[in-house]
Every structure is written in structure tokens, then in C-alpha cells.
Structure 1
Amino acid sequence: MKRYTYLLTLLVFFSCAGEAQIFKKAQDLLGGNAAFTKEEAANALKQALEQGTVKGVDVISQLDGYYKNPEIKIPFPQEAKNVEDKLRALGLGSEVDKAVESLNRAAEDAASEAKDIFVAAIKGLTIQDAINIVKGEEGAATQYLERNTTSELTAKFSPIIDASLKKVDATKYWGDVMGSYNKIPFVKKVDTDLTAYVTQKAIDGLFVMIAKEELNIRENPGARTTELLKKVFN
């Protein structure tokens, strides 16, 4: 019975089929050669997560990984939206565009540092962690990583992004934009912590991409590229 329950939850995680189809697949496995252990199943999940996170990180750490991806592009801070609108109305849109591009460049610069942090968290998964993820809701693996890596990612990203903001002249562009805005008579001055803002948005974007890769591996058999993944999840 325990084996049946485990296999069923495993199938729920890696299939979007209807309930009747899931039961049929579980029965087929139980009546056939489901020759793998819980340890193998947990290791397969680790492989799937590592594959997905590495791919996600590789995509967004390239040039335009953030900037040309509308899902994760870092915009002007919300509290500075009036700044953007006012400056564009005054014909200073090019300054705004430079500032936005530089924020995204800084995020792209830092993103590659996430890979080792994710891999370490994945390798630390216990069998019980793996079972909990398998039994969990859609996105459970991404949520696990978010819970277990966000603090470390923030600590790692913050100095890199701070340096990157200076390197790509984001600090200068931001200073120019804020300086232009704050000189406008009667406006409320805006003072945003740029490093903290970009760090948070960069991490948010990272988990958006990880969630997409998790869903891909779950729904797409072709995304299971190792022998262990095929053995357990096909």
C-alpha cells in the first residue's frame, strides 16, 4: 500500500493527466516492472530540479536574459512610476530607458551566481523532502528552493548587483534621472534603495524561470534527459 501511494503521488507530480489516467498509469507500473527504489526516485527528482535550475539560470544570465524577457524584465520601481511618466512627458525618455536597461544588465550580471546555491540546496534534499515535493501542489519544488535559498541568494546577489550597477553605469543613469526629477518644482522627492530593489527583482525573476522549467520537466517527457529520469518517470 505504501508503495502504491508513493508511486501515485509521484505520477501526480509529473503528469497533468486526468484522475482516471493517473490511476491507470499507477496500476500499469505496479503490475509491471517498476524496478526502482525510493532512493532512485528521490535522486531522479534531484536530477530534474538540477537540470531545470541550471537551464533557467543559464537563460537569464545571458545578455538580455532579463531585459528582453517581458515576464521578468525589471521596470522602474513602482514608487518611482510618477518619475518615469513625468520625465517621459518632459522628453527625457532616453534617460529613463538607459536607467531601466542598466538595472536589467546588473541582474543579468549577478544571476550566474545562483547556480551553485541552487545545486547545493538540491543536493541537500532528503528522501522525505522529495516525497513532500512529489505530494505537494504545482510548483512545490520551486517553493522548496525559494524557502531554502532566498536568504543566501540575497546575501550573494546584493554586493554583486551593487558592483554591477556601478559597472554598467546604472548608478549614474539613476542619479541623472532622479536628479532631473527632483529638480521639478513641487514634486515629492523619491529616494529608492536601488541595490535592494534590483536584488529583489532579480531573485523574483529567477524563481519565475525556475517555475517554468519545473513545469516543463513535469509535463514534457522529452525534457527528462538522463537515464534515471527516464527509468523513474517515463
Structure 2
Amino acid sequence: MKAGAFGTSNIGTGLKKALTVGTERVVALLGAADGFNTNPEIHIPLPETLRKVQSALQAVGMSSMADDVELRLNRAAEAAVPKAKKSFVDAIAAMTLNDITGIYNGPPDSATRYFQSKMSALLAEEMRPVIDGTLAEVEAIQAYDAMIGQYKEIPFVPSVKADLIEHVIARAMDGLFLYLGKEEAATRENPAMRSTDLLKKVFGKI
């Protein structure tokens, strides 16, 4: 459908409302306890460079140390996600008429693609100090240091290191965009997801 057939103002208002509501739902879902940790689609594993540490510790009956670090990485992401909401709300408010028309007439994940193209670099920058802080809050760095210390006591193992902050940022953003895409598609396809009369009118005409 072309935007003019229903009214650009209505479409703009409705689409921005839908994206705001969708963002709030996703943030509430992923920002809850176990939002990442128990979700197999977005669970954050140890960085690839630490897999050998995990295997080595498993071999000597100390896998719980690696498991503890992995849990804390997920807890850090869960704590950080709610703090990313303002960035999305600001991006939604700043959408132009061309942005809105393109998203409205585009594929089911048009808004998510827009967010990824416009926000990925900025969001990563904004999340970096947040993730740094949440990793400290959940004592992930201490757990990591303890794990590496124990690993180094195993004879003949190679040295390893990992950037936990960048790893959690990348995985948290992947999870956010994945679920924003799911939420967007559901709003377009499922009438039950449209929480206001305006949303029902806007998306009922797609």
C-alpha cells in the first residue's frame, strides 16, 4: 500500500507508536532475568578463544568455573539491554518521512534493517560503558580472572585472552536485533499484536 492512501500523518504516528511499543516489549523480554541465559537463540557463550579453557577445565573437573563466567556474561547483557531503550526511542523519534514510507512499504523486517544500518555503530559505542559497568556489577571480570588463574595451573596449556566487553556487546546487539525483527513481523502479521485502534488501522491496510 502507498502511504498517501491512508494519510502520511496517521502512518507516521502509527508506525512510530508500533516501533516504540515493540522496542519496549523486546527490552522487557531480554532485560529480564534469564532473558539471554536460558534462551537458546541468543544465549551468550564464552568467546571462541576461551573454548579451550572451558575444555581444559572440564578435563580436570573444574567446568563450573567456566560455566560461572558464561552465566555472568549473560547477566551483564540482561542488565545492559534496558539501558539501550532510549537510543531506540530517540532513533524512532528522528525518523523522516522517507524513512517511515520506506519502512511501511518494505518487507516484514524493514524497521529492524533500518535500526541496524543507522544505529549499529552508535549503539555499540553507547553500550560499551554500560556493558563495562554491568560486567563489573555481576563480577564477571573477577570470575574470568579466577578461571584464567586456575587454567594456568594446568601444565602445558597455551596462553589465552579474550575481550569480554566487545564479545558481550556484539552478542547483546545480535539478540536485540533478532527479537526486534520478530516483534516487527508479528505486529505486521498478527492483529492481536496491535494494541491501539490506530495500529489496527495502519497495519490492517498493509
1:137 — aligned with what?
A: 107
**1:52-78 alpha-carbon deviations (Å, 9 max, x no partner):** 111101111111111111111111112
Match of 1:13 in 2: none
1:212: which partner in 2? 182
Q: 5 Å matches for 1:92-103?
A: 92-103=62-73
Q: Aligned residue pairs: how many? A: 204
Q: Secondary structure at the match of 1:166?
A: helix
Partner of 1:6: 2
Amino acid at match of 2:168: V
Asked if 1 retains the 8 angstrom alpha-carbon contact of 2:23 and 2:180, the reply is: yes
Percent identical among aligned pairs is 40
Q: Please, which of 2, 5, 8 is the counterpart of residue 38 of structure 1? A: 8
Tell me what 1:159 maps to.
129
Q: CA RMSD in A?
A: 1.8
Structure 1: how far apart are the matches of 2:184 and 2:108? 9
Look up the match of 2:95.
125
Quote the offset at 1:181 in angstroms. Answer: 2.1
The alignment's TM-score, normalised by the length of structure 2, stands at 0.92
Conserved in 1, the CA contact under 8 Å of 2:30 and 2:36? yes
Could you list the structure 1 runs, at least 4 aligned residues long, displaced by more than 4 angstroms after superposition: none
Tell me, yes or no, if structure 1 residue 176 matches structure 2 residue 146.
yes
- Give the TM-score normalised by structure 1: 0.81
Contact 2:112 2:184 in 1 (8 A): yes
Distance 2:42 2:159 in 1: 27
The equivalent residue for 1:77 is 47
**Structure 2 segments unaligned to the other structure (5+ residues):** none
Bigger Rg over Cα: 1
Q: CA deviation at 1:184?
A: 2.7
